[in-house]
Amino acid sequence: MPAELIDGVAVARSIRADVARETAILVERGVHPGLAVILVGENPASAVYVRSKRKACDEAGIHSVTVHLPVTTTGAELVGAVAELNADPKVHGILVQMPLPDQIDADAVIRSIDPAKDVDGFHPVNVGKLLIGERDGFVPCTPAGIQEMLQRSGVVTTGRECVIVGRSNIVGKPMAALMIQDTPAGNCTVTVCNSRTRNLGAHTRRADILIVAAGRARLVTGDMIKPGAVVIDVGMNSIPDATASRGVRLVGDVDFDSAREVASLITPVPGGVGPMTIAMLLMNTVRSAARTLSASGASPEALIGA
């Protein structure tokens, strides 16, 4: 029997509805959640992504600010723009859209963001909090979205074998840190595979929960999956397809057709993990705004997940 699909669009829609309700509560209490996105240059894909974030903010009632800087911007100028947003009480979340031009040190820019406004979850302070299990930091949006998706799909994680293919700072490493934590959505035995892993299939076939974020189209095939496993495909790869209107189509890091015949649950590409990232970005922004309300001595009922 083919695996059941995990509908990331529907899960993300539910989260965004929760965010909109919490935003309305905060606005009534005098705090209007605000997200600032900095875009440097004219990268078309980045521009589309920034517009989608702005639209999502508008739909949730979140105040959004876009700071668009020229491609010639220096690292010092970008850090200066971040500093202005750090000091702005109307901004509760700051995101610097990647990639940045070559002349800018991305790590230095990330470190310049106030950790309390780092809703992308990449500042070393937030990374450290995640690793030691503190709950008051921000978790990178894609791993947080995957964990939320597993929870809302009724997947039991405690005691399960979780295998993650990919060790990036954006997905693989924080995903491993989340799934190993002593929480109801964690408590897994975690294996992280990478490009140097020998006999990848021997590891993936042990997984009760398999999360693939390797950046290689159809790397994992059905014969590499344990029968009944939950498969989360983070990949987003363009491959040639003469039948598609643009001559290409999107596929994941998992060979969907063969994997679906073996797994019990699986995310499609597109429509799986992708929609969760922006939903979790909005959730982190509202959490940040709610914390300022709580710090002022007001009731913190509006906190989301904190």
Q: CA nearest 220: which of 253, 187, 242, 248?
A: 253
Spatial distance between the Cα atoms of 46 and 99, rounded to a whole number of angstroms? 8
Instruction: Determine whether 53 is an active site residue.
Output: yes
Alpha carbon 275 to chain centroid distance?
A: 9
Q: Is 118 left (phi over 0), alpha (psi -120 to 50) or beta?
A: beta
Out of 53, 117, 129, 173, the active site residue is: 53
Cβ-Cβ contacts under 8 Å for 82 (sequence gap 6 or more): 38, 94, 96, 109, 112, 113
CA 86 vs CA 91, 273, 291: distances in Å: 8, 30, 15
Residue 103 annotated in active site: no
The one catalytic residue among 118, 120, 208, 255: 120
120 is catalytic: yes
Q: How many CB atoms lie within 10 A of CB 135?
A: 11
Please name every residue paired with 34 in a beta bridge, in sequence order, or none if there are none: 63
DSSP class of 185: T
CA distance 233 to 216: 11
- CA 79 to chain CA centroid, Å, is 23
Neighbours of 171 (CB within 10 A): 24
Catalytic residue among 97, 147, 181, 226: 97
Residue 33 is which amino acid? P
- CB-based contacts of 248: which residues, under 8 Å, 6+ apart? 238, 239, 240, 241
Active-site annotation, residues: 53, 97, 120
